[in-house]
Structure 1
Amino acid sequence: MSKTYEAVPAQTVAFLGLGVMGYPMAGHLARAGHRVTVYNRTAAKAAQWAAEYGGGAAATPREAVAGASLVFCCVGNDDDLRSVVLGDDGAFAGMAADAVFVDHTTASAAVARELAAVARTRGLHFVDAPVSGGNLGAINGVLTVMCGGDEAAFARAQPVAMAFSKAVTRLGDSGAGQLAKMVNQIAIAGLVQGLAEAIAFGEKAGLDMKAVLGVIGKGAAQSWQMDNRGPTMVEDRFDFGFAVDWMRKDLGLVLDEARRNGARLPVTALVDQFYAALQAEGGGRWDTSSLIRRVR
């Protein structure tokens, strides 16, 4: 897929974390004409990115963010996020006054609010901005970004983040982006389990399930999961996509938040147990659509 970039004035930016999502996201920023310096815990990955895209690589987050008006980040979890933000070598120690930190990590709403508060004491801005769309969405620059934070800070970040997105939307104050991502993951968990049961039922009934999906995919049952994962579920292929380990991390955040806010999530809790069983079978790196192996 060829990404078309909107005309946005070139800015000096940093990107922290070059995993399966961050590497292509940072690449889109460079291709859009921004001056990008990257940091990654494994320095060789940062050097590889710099060689590929022509940007800079720094040894610490603090060095990477020097002179940047916007700092983007995509790491693993709350602790990883704190490790690149706080401390003497952290991003906050090196960011210029009034700079904006945009966090694309799927993390807790609590850490988003915590770091936003720390940012305010330093004259900085923090936007929590988890993404949906997976690795292919990152590669193709068509992620959906859910944001929480100050309106003015969001307005500065939004046009630049469109380099790797199809939609970047503010949904409320600090933490709202992370909460919206939790809503997204709750919906996906139920969809994938329903799709798994439907395909397994159809197979037991002797139906040509690829043909069936082609028909019902044009009706009310249609979803991204059906279109993109239904055929591969029929083929019993799970060596790609969003891993079970990552989904369990996300659902852990969801269930922790539900315990705090009193939401009742019986289906989500059950699907989380199914994913735990897949992990126990050695399927932690299988795609989340491997839920069908629990019902075949």
Structure 2
Amino acid sequence: MKADTGIVGLGIMGSAMAGRLIAAGHSVAGYDPDDAAMERHRENGGRAAKSAGEVAKCAPVVLLSLPGSAALESVTADICVNGKAGCVLVELSTLPIDEKITARDALAEKGMSLIDCPVSGTGAQAVSGDLVVLASGDAEAVERCGPVFDAIARETRYLGAFGNGMKMKLVANLLVAIHNTAAAEALVLAQKAGLDLEETFEVICAGAGSSRMFEIRGPMMVEGRYSPPTMKNDVWRKDLDLIAQFAAGLGAPAPLFSVTDRLYAEAEAMGLGGEDTAAVKRVLEELAVKDNGS
């Protein structure tokens, strides 16, 4: 099997990117341990590989869209054994920088390149190609991936040394966390004030108080519908932990983020781990009920 592009990890983000690549005319070899994800990939016109290593053997550029550190370690080990020298691996996930460096060094020993390229955007944005690639690492490898990035994103920013992509992603995600919670807080206030939420959404979007998160997740909050998720709360937890560690390690104050972080933790405690992060509005609604009952 041969393909011009590969992707390992066909979850919310990965499947959306695969769809964009296929629509742009790329042949896409994909692998995911989930059988249902693989079936969807085949139905969408993708080529099914039996392992991450097989993907890296048949495609010169391979995107990695992984759920966590254990997956990166496992995928790296497989590709080191079965991948083809000269392959460029594009690590898109939000993971610790030191773990990405370990993977990069292991792959380099096998003649393969790993670049650090997390993306800014939600799963819904990935479907429409409304992502920004935060590319870092070997400049020639990044340039080689240009046609792939053009298919999945509206913009690619090259940020220099390996790891700068992740640093920028953590800064961006801090704002995502805060803006998403701010949107929920504003809509709960409007709800308590007896305002029509659809009208409130339209008015805020037209004014100075809007944000990308308000525009993207506001409709879910207005409807009170948090599934299917564009980012699950339990996956978001990993990102929030990385932001907290990053800020603490640099001695950077993050008081707004700290409050927001606790609200997302409460969302998980309420059993909303599998729902979209917009469900933080449910947390604030529960707080409003408790305050009224006290």
Cα gap change, 1:143 to 1:122, in 2 (>3 Å): same
Which residue number in structure 2 is paired with residue 163 of structure 1? 151
Alignment CA distance shift 1:92-1:32 (3 Å): farther
Could you tell me which residue of structure 2 aligns to residue 115 of structure 1? 103
Higher helix share: 2
Change (3 A) 1:11 1:171: farther
The answer as to 2:185 corresponding to 1:197 is yes
> 5 Å matches for 1:77-92?
77-86=68-77, 90-92=78-80
Post-superposition Cα deviations, 1:156-196, rounded to whole Å, max 9, x if no partner, equal 11222211211122212111111211111100111122222
Tell me if 1:281 matches 2:273: no
d(CA) in 2 for partners of 1:48 and 1:214? 35
Q: Which residue of 2 aligns with 1:295?
A: 284
1:72 aligns with one of 60, 63, 67: 63
Unaligned runs of 5+ in 2: 286-294
RMSD: 2.1
SS of the residue aligned with 2:105? helix
Contact 1:233/1:290 (CA < 8 Å) preserved in 2?
A: yes
Structure 1, unpaired ranges of 5+:
1-9
Q: Which amino acid in structure 2 is aligned with residue 30 of structure 1?
A: I
- How many angstroms does 1:79 deviate by? 1.3
Per-residue deviation at 1:127?
Answer: 1.0
1:153 is displaced (CA, Å) by 0.8
- Are residue 214 (structure 1) and residue 202 (structure 2) matched? yes
- Shift, 1:33, TM fit: 2.7
Equivalent residue runs for 1:119-198 within 5 Å: 119-198=107-186
Q: Any idea what the Cα deviations from partners look like across 1:61-90, whole Å, max 9, x if unmatched?
A: 22222142211111101111111111xxx1
Q: Deviations over 1:218-277 (max 9, x none)?
A: 222121222232243233222233221122111011112223222222221221111111
TM-score computed with the length of structure 1 as normaliser: 0.87
- Structure-2-length-normalised TM-score: 0.88
Aligned partner of 1:294: which letter?
V
Residue range with higher mean Cα deviation, 35-44 or 154-163: 35-44
1:33 equivalent to 2:22? Answer no
Aligned residues, how many?
A: 283
Distance, in Å, in 2 between the alignment partners of 1:24 and 1:226 is 22
State the distance in 1 between where 2:12 and 2:222 align: 26
Amino acid at match of 2:174: I
Corresponding position of 2:291: none
What's the offset of the Cα at 1:39? 1.5
Identity of aligned residues (%): 32
CA distance in 2: counterparts of 1:49 and 1:193, whole angstroms: 33
CA contact (8 A) 2:231 2:276 kept: yes
Cα 1:126–1:209 shift into 2, 3 Å: same
CA contact under 8 A between 1:18 and 1:45: conserved in structure 2? yes
DSSP-derived class of the 1:232 partner: helix
CA distance in 2, matches of 1:35, 1:186: 35
CA deviation after TM superposition for structure 1 residue 152, in Å: 0.8
